[in-house]
């Protein structure tokens, strides 16, 4: 049997044993989101929990992929094994942006200590918010201690996906104050660490001041953790060690304050709610078709019943 046809549990075992192509296949199944994804989710959950996720988010072109690549270099120099997920909700699998990321990350392509994967879910954002934590969990379950997740922080849903990391880095550029591409309020809310990337350009100090002002004005509980602001130049790696130190400091804070445990619990509750909602949605689509459905809609159209009574009847069949 070729690997392509291996059942999900065998693929999972192969991935746990270090088979990278099995891992890639698992992530494709998760992306697809059908029964296999659920099987994988059940297998991965008990083995997960020791990995730590670091999210990088920000407007397109802010330099997230470039920074990620620099971070990989920094972490590999310390012999840390990492996985990188690049999430792009808008690009199809072979899209230009993803290809660009692959090319940029090619330096690390042959390093067994690094696993890089782009994910997209064909414009279905609900799917993405379920697929992302599941993919992270698989990488965690196979033993990656650091999982970097790059997401484009443009709209509300994307920012929500981005905010699901243990530590979230928000990447901005000098002059961010003038840009309208990013969901600024949302990004402010999820930032644990700010990066002003492209610090080789002018305007770093103004942007830093703007950010500090925004932090001062926001009513977030920054008395416990105030996001540091780190200038970086992704293309040269300048500032990357400082960025990583800030991530480590946030991790330490999150672990010792109980914030991490609280965040993870909150995330799991949200995820569970979403799983239930997704399943109910699917069930709703199933029952809103077929013979009984046709009869009831006809009855409503002919005014022999009203929509509310008809809905009660449909739902009675589900509850039973």
From residue 59 to residue 88, the character string flagging contacts with ligand GDP as x (rule: CB under 6 A) and all else as - is: -xxxxxxx----------------------
Residue 250 binding: pick among Mg ion, ligand GDP, none (C-beta 5-8 Å cut-off by kind): none
**Minimum CB distance to ligand GDP, residue 61 (Å):** 5
Residue 55 sits in the site that holds ligand GDP (CB under 6 A): no
- DSSP for the chain, please give it: --GGGS-HHHHHHHHHTT-HHHHHHHHHHHHHTSHHHHHHHHHHHHH-SS-EEEEEEESTTSSHHHHHHHHHHHHHTTT--EEEEEE-SSS-TT-HHHHHHHHHGGGGTT-TTEEEEEE--TT-HHHHHHHHHHHHHHHHHTT-SEEEEEEE--SHHHHHHHTTSSEEEEEE-TTGGG--SS-HHHHHHH-SEEEEE-TTSS-HHHHHHHHHHHHHHS-S-TTT-PPPEEEEBTTTTBTHHHHHHHHHHHHHHHHHHSHHHHHHHHHHHHHHHHHHHHHHHHHHHHHSSSHHHHHHHHHHHTTSS-HHHHHHHHHHHHH-
Q: CA–CA separation, 57 vs 155, rounded Å?
A: 11
- 48, 53, 57, 65: residue in contact with Mg ion (rule CB under 5 A): 65
Question: In this chain, which stretch among 120-128, 129-137, 229-237, 283-291 interacts with ligand GDP, using CB under 6 A?
Answer: 229-237
- 90, 235, 278, 297: residue in contact with ligand GDP (rule CB under 6 A): 235
Residue (26 or 211) nearer to ligand GDP, CB: 211
Residue 70 binding: pick among Mg ion, ligand GDP, none (C-beta 5-8 Å cut-off by kind): none
**Minimum CB distance to Mg ion, residue 58 (Å):** 9
Tokens coding 38 = 């659920």
Residue (64 or 137) nearer to Mg ion, CB: 64
162 burial (CB, 10 Å; 0-12 / 13-18 / 19+) is: buried
> Whose CA is closest to 122, among 33, 48, 247, 218?
33
**Minimum CB distance to ligand GDP, residue 99 (Å):** 11
Residue 234 sits in the site that holds ligand GDP (CB under 6 A): yes
**Minimum CB distance to Mg ion, residue 148 (Å):** 12
Tokens coding 215 = 């932090």
Residue 134 binding: pick among Mg ion, ligand GDP, none (C-beta 5-8 Å cut-off by kind): none
- 197, 208, 250, 310: residue in contact with ligand GDP (rule CB under 6 A): 197
Residues near Mg ion (CB under 5 A), total: 3
**Minimum CB distance to ligand GDP, residue 70 (Å):** 9
Residue 108 sits in the site that holds ligand GDP (CB under 6 A): no
Residue 197 sits in the site that holds Mg ion (CB under 5 A): no
**Minimum CB distance to ligand GDP, residue 86 (Å):** 8
Question: In this chain, which stretch among 112-120, 182-190, 192-200, 203-211 interacts with ligand GDP, using CB under 6 A?
Answer: 192-200
Q: Which residues bind Mg ion (CB under 5 A)?
A: 64-65, 101
Q: Which residues bind ligand GDP (CB under 6 A)?
A: 58, 60-66, 197-198, 200, 233-235
């Amino acid at each position: 049997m070729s690997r392509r046809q291996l059942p999900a549990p065998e693929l999972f075992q192969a991935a746990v044993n270090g088979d990278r192509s099995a891992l890639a296949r698992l992530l494709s199944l998760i992306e697809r989101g059908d029964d296999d994804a659920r099987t994988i989710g059940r297998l991965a959950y008990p083995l997960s929990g020791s990995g730590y996720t670091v999210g990088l988010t920000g407007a397109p072109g802010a330099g997230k992929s470039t920074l990620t690549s620099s971070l990989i270099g920094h972490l590999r120099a310390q012999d840390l094994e990492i996985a990188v997920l690049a999430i792009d909700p808008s690009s199809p699998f072979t899209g230009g942006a993803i290809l660009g990321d692959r090319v940029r990350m090619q330096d690390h392509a042959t390093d067994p200590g690094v696993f890089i994967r782009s994910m997209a879910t064909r414009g279905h954002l609900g799917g993405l918010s379920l697929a992302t934590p599941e993919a992270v969990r698989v990488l965690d379950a196979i033993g990656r201690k650091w999982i970097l997740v790059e997401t484009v922080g443009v709209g509300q849903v994307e920012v929500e996906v981005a905010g699901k990391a243990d530590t979230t880095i928000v990447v901005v550029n000098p002059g961010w104050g003038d840009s309208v591409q990013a969901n600024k309020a949302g990004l402010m809310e999820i930032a644990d660490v700010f990066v002003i990337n492209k610090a080789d350009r002018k305007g770093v100090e103004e942007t830093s001041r703007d950010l500090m002002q925004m932090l001062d004005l926001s009513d977030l509980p920054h008395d416990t953790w105030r996001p540091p602001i780190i200038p970086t130049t992704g293309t040269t790696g300048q500032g990357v060690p400082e960025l990583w130190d800030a991530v480590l400091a946030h991790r330490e804070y999150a672990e010792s304050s109980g914030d991490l445990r609280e965040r993870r619990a909150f995330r799991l509750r949200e995820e569970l709610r979403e799983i239930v909602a997704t399943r109910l949605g699917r069930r709703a689509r199933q029952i809103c078709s077929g013979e009984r459905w046709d009869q009831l809609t006809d009855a409503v159209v002919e005014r022999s019943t009203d929509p509310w009574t008809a809905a009660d009847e449909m739902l009675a069949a589900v509850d039973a």
